[in-house]
Amino acid sequence: MLYSKLTELYTQLSSTTKRLEKIEILSKFFKKLDEKESYILYLLEGNIYPSYDERKIGISNQLAIKSISKATGTNQKKIQELWRKMGDLGEVSKKLTETKTQRTLASHTLTTIKVLENLRKLPELIGKGTIDKKISLITELLTSASPEEALYLVRTLLGDLRIGVQESTIKYSLLKAFFNDDKEKEPSIQRAIDKTNDLAKVFEISKKSDIKKLDSLELEVGKPIKAMLAQKTISIKQAFKDLGKPLAAEYKYDGFRLLIHKKGDKITLFTRRLENVTKQFPEVERYIQNNLKGKSFILDSEAVGYDKKTKKYTDFQAISQRIRRKHNIKKLEESLPVEINIFDILYYNGKSLLDKPFKERTKLLRKIIKKEPFKIAPSKMIITSSEKEIEKFYKEALKNNQEGIMLKNLDAEYKPGRRVGHMLKLKPNKKDFDLVITGAEWGTGKRKGWLSSFTLSCKKGNKFLEIGKSSTGLKEKKEEGLSYEELTDLLKPHIEEQNERAVKISPKIVVAVTYQDIQKSSNYESGLALRFPRFVALREDKPISEITTLEELEEEFIDQKKENYKYN
C-alpha cells in the first residue's frame, strides 16, 4: 500500500472527534485492506509491533529535529523556533516539506512496508555511530515524503499520532466491517484481543468472519497481557451490594504488579506496562523455581518491599527504583528485597483459566504454592459474608503497612486490561494521585541545569489537563531518592517546546503525588488545583492510560467537602 493512502486515512480520522464516525471510516478501510497488510493495524496505533512487544521506536524530539534539518536543508535553530510557535514537530516537518524547492534525486514514492521496515530498524541499532544511522534511516523517509506524509511520519516517530484511535475503536470497527455490527459477537473479538495482545492477528481472523477461530485463540506463555484492574468502592456495605455474599477479601499490597510467566525452566516477569523486568529480579526467578508446582503458568502478583532487620513491609517508594535499575542488581537485591504475593492464576499446564470463576482459580493457586515468608506466598485472603470480619481484616492490612483491601466476586472471570466491577478496592483517603508531568522550568542557582517547578496533569478522555505545579519532595542528591537530576534525565527526551526557561513536555512520565487538599481554580484547565502537592515516587510501573482522571479528582473534591462539613 502507498503510504499516502494511509495518511489519507489518518487525516480522515483526525478530522472528527465523534467515535461513531471514526468507526464508520475504519470499518470501510478494513473491508478493503488486504490480509497481507495486517501490520497496518500496528501503525494505526502509532506502533511498529504488537503491544506485547518490547521494541519501541524510541526517538527523541532532538533526534527528530536533526533528521528534519537534514531532510529539508533547514537550520536546526529555525526548526526550534517553528516548533515553539506551532507546538507540533509533525506540523513543522509538513511546513518545511511544503517549502522545499525540489525533492532529492534519491527520493521515491513511499510505501507502508518501506516505512515499517525503516522504523523497525531503529530500535535494533546499538553501539558506535547509532545516532547517525538512525538519522539516515529517518531522513531517507522524510526526503521522499509529501508534506502530509512528513506530518504523520514525524508524529509516528515521536509516539504522538493524534488521530484519536483507541483499541476499542478498532474493535468496534472490526465488528462492523466483518460481523455486520452484531453486538453478540463483540465479546469474541474482545477476548481475542485480550488473549493475543495482537491487533494484526485479530484482524486477519476477523477478515474471514471466523468467530470459532477467534474463540479458539489462547494465551501464550511468554507474551505479556494487560492486567485486570479494579474499581473503587466507598464501603464494605456497598461492596456486598455490588458483589453479593459471600465475597473474597484480599490485602491490597503497596507494591508493584508483576505478571509471572513460566514455560519449562524459562521464567519471565512483566510489569503492568508489559515491560520485561526478569533481569532486575533474579531472586524472584529462584522463588518461582523452588516454590511453585507446574510445567507452565501465568500468575498475577504484587511485589512488596520489606526491611530485612525489622521485617516490616515498606511502601512502593522504597522499592520503585528496582524496576528501572539494570546495574548493581546483586546490591539492590540485598538492600531492597521483595516478597512476591500471588493473587491470581490465568493459565496452568497448557490451559487458559480466564473463563474459570475466581473461586476455582484461587483454590488451584493455593494448592501449587509452597509458602515461604518474605520470599513468596499466596495473597492474604478471607472468604466471608460478615461485614465485621472484613472490617477487622481491613484494619489488619493497614496495620501491616498495606494500602487497603481488594474485594472480589467469587464467580467472576479474569478480564485482562479492563477496569471491572466485580473486583473492588477499598482504601483510606491517603490523598495521593498518579499524575503525568506535562511541563517544567529550567532551574537557576544550585538547580541550574536541572528541570524544576513541574506541571502536573490528570486525564480526561484523550486530553491531559493541568492541576498543579510542584518540585517539593525531590532530592538534591541521587542517593537520597528521586532527584531533580534523575527526573531531568528522564524528561529531556520528551521536551516538545521551549520558551525561555519554560518547557512543554510530552505526557510520558508518571509520578505519585500527595497533597493537602483540592481547591477550585480558574488557573488550570481542569478547573481544580492541588494545594501543596508533593512528589512521592516515580511510577514507571504505571502506564499513562491508568493515571488519575478528572472524574476521580472531582469525586475526591466532593468527598473532601463532605468531610469538611462534618468537622466544621
74-112 pLDDT tens trace: 999 999 889 878 878 999 999 999 987 545 544 568 999
* Window from 6-10, 165-169, 374-378, 492-496 with minimum mean pLDDT: 492-496
Q: pLDDT band at 562, cuts 50/70/90? A: low
* Window from 201-205, 281-285, 414-418 with minimum mean pLDDT: 414-418
Q: Which of 401, 426, 451 is the last residue of a domain?
A: 426
User: Is residue 7 assigned to a domain?
Assistant: no
Q: So what's the pLDDT on residue 561?
A: 65
* Window from 28-37, 59-68, 183-192, 558-567 with minimum mean pLDDT: 558-567
Mark whether 364 and 500 lie in a shared domain: no
User: Is residue 223 assigned to a domain?
Assistant: no
Mark whether 440 and 458 lie in a shared domain: yes
Q: So what's the pLDDT on residue 563?
A: 54
Identity at 208, one-letter amino acid code:
K
Residue 230 has pLDDT above 50, yes or no: yes
414 secondary structure, DSSP code: P
* Window from 137-141, 182-186, 423-427, 444-448 with minimum mean pLDDT: 444-448
Residue predicted with more confidence, 375 or 443: 375
Residue 502: domain span: 432-567
User: Is residue 208 assigned to a domain?
Assistant: no
Give the residue among 502, 504, 489 at the shortest CA–CA distance from 438: 504
Mark whether 405 and 474 lie in a shared domain: no
Per DSSP, the residues of 182-237 read -GGGHHHHHHHHHHH--HHHHHHHHTTT-HHHHHH----TTS--PPPEEEE-S-HH
Handedness of CA 46, 52, 55, 61 (dihedral sign): positive
Q: Span 227-250, mean pLDDT?
A: 94
Q: What is the CATH number of the domain that holds 521?
A: 2.40.50.140
Query: Cβ contacts of residue 157 below 8 Å, gap of 6+?
Result: 57, 59, 64, 67, 119, 138
Tell me how far apart the alpha carbons of residues 97 and 61 are, in angstroms, rounded to a whole number.
18
Q: So what's the pLDDT on residue 394?
A: 96
Look at residue 488 and give its three-state secondary structure: helix
Mark whether 310 and 444 lie in a shared domain: no
User: Is residue 193 assigned to a domain?
Assistant: no
Tell me how far apart the alpha carbons of residues 420 and 233 are, in angstroms, rounded to a whole number.
12
439-487 pLDDT tens trace: 999 987 788 889 999 999 999 988 899 999 999 999 888 777 788 999 9
Residue 240 has pLDDT above 50, yes or no: yes
Half-sphere exposure of 174 (CA within 13 A, CB side): 31
Check 134, 195, 226, 252 and give the catalytic one.
252
Q: So what's the pLDDT on residue 464?
A: 94
Q: pLDDT band at 355, cuts 50/70/90? A: very high
292: which 3 cell numbers?
Answer: 511453585
Tell me how far apart the alpha carbons of residues 11 and 21 are, in angstroms, rounded to a whole number.
13
Tell me how far apart the alpha carbons of residues 276 and 297 are, in angstroms, rounded to a whole number.
16
Q: pLDDT band at 565, cuts 50/70/90? A: very low
Q: So what's the pLDDT on residue 568?
A: 37
User: Is residue 107 assigned to a domain?
Assistant: yes
Please, is 473 exposed, middle or buried when counting C-beta atoms within 10 Å of its C-beta (0-12, 13-18, 19+)?
Answer: middle
Number of domains observed in the structure of the chain:
3
Helical ranges in 244-369 per DSSP H: 282-291, 316-319, 321-324, 329-335, 358-368
Mark whether 308 and 249 lie in a shared domain: yes
Residue 360 has pLDDT above 90, yes or no: yes
Task: Put residue 449 in one of left, alpha, beta given phi > 0 → left and psi -120 to 50 → alpha.
Answer: left
Q: Which of 133, 157, 181 is the last residue of a domain?
A: 157
The per-residue pLDDT of the chain, averaged, comes to 91
Bridge-partner residues for 511, per DSSP?
435, 538
User: Is residue 200 assigned to a domain?
Assistant: no
Q: What is the CATH number of the domain that holds 151?
A: 1.10.3260.10
309-326 pLDDT tens trace: 999 998 887 888 788 777
350: which 3 cell numbers?
Answer: 497448557
2 secondary structure, DSSP code: B
Tell me how far apart the alpha carbons of residues 227 and 230 are, in angstroms, rounded to a whole number.
10
Q: So what's the pLDDT on residue 567?
A: 36
Give residue 359's Cα distance to chain centre. Answer: 29
Mark whether 359 and 258 lie in a shared domain: yes
Cis peptide before 533 (omega within 30 of 0): no
7 secondary structure, DSSP code: H
226: which 3 cell numbers?
Answer: 494487560
User: Is residue 404 assigned to a domain?
Assistant: yes
Give the residue among 260, 272, 273 at the shortest CA–CA distance from 221: 260
Q: Which of 426, 461, 488 is the last residue of a domain?
A: 426
Residue 372 has pLDDT above 90, yes or no: yes
Residue 426 has pLDDT above 80, yes or no: yes
* Window from 89-103, 384-398, 426-440 with minimum mean pLDDT: 89-103
Mark whether 247 and 358 lie in a shared domain: yes
Q: So what's the pLDDT on residue 105?
A: 44
Residue 67 has pLDDT above 70, yes or no: yes
Beta strands 338-348 and 376-378, pairing class = parallel
Q: Reply yes or no on whether 266 is catalytic.
A: no
Mark whether 135 and 252 lie in a shared domain: no
258-283 pLDDT tens trace: 999 999 999 999 998 899 999 999 99
Q: So what's the pLDDT on residue 2?
A: 96
Q: So what's the pLDDT on residue 501?
A: 84
User: Is residue 340 assigned to a domain?
Assistant: yes
Residues in the chain: 568
Tell me how far apart the alpha carbons of residues 239 and 112 are, in angstroms, rounded to a whole number.
50
Look at residue 473 and give its three-state secondary structure: coil
Q: How far apart are the first and last CA of the chain?
A: 67
Q: What is the CATH number of the domain that holds 360?
A: 3.30.470.30
3-45 pLDDT tens trace: 999 999 999 999 998 999 999 999 999 999 999 999 999 999 9
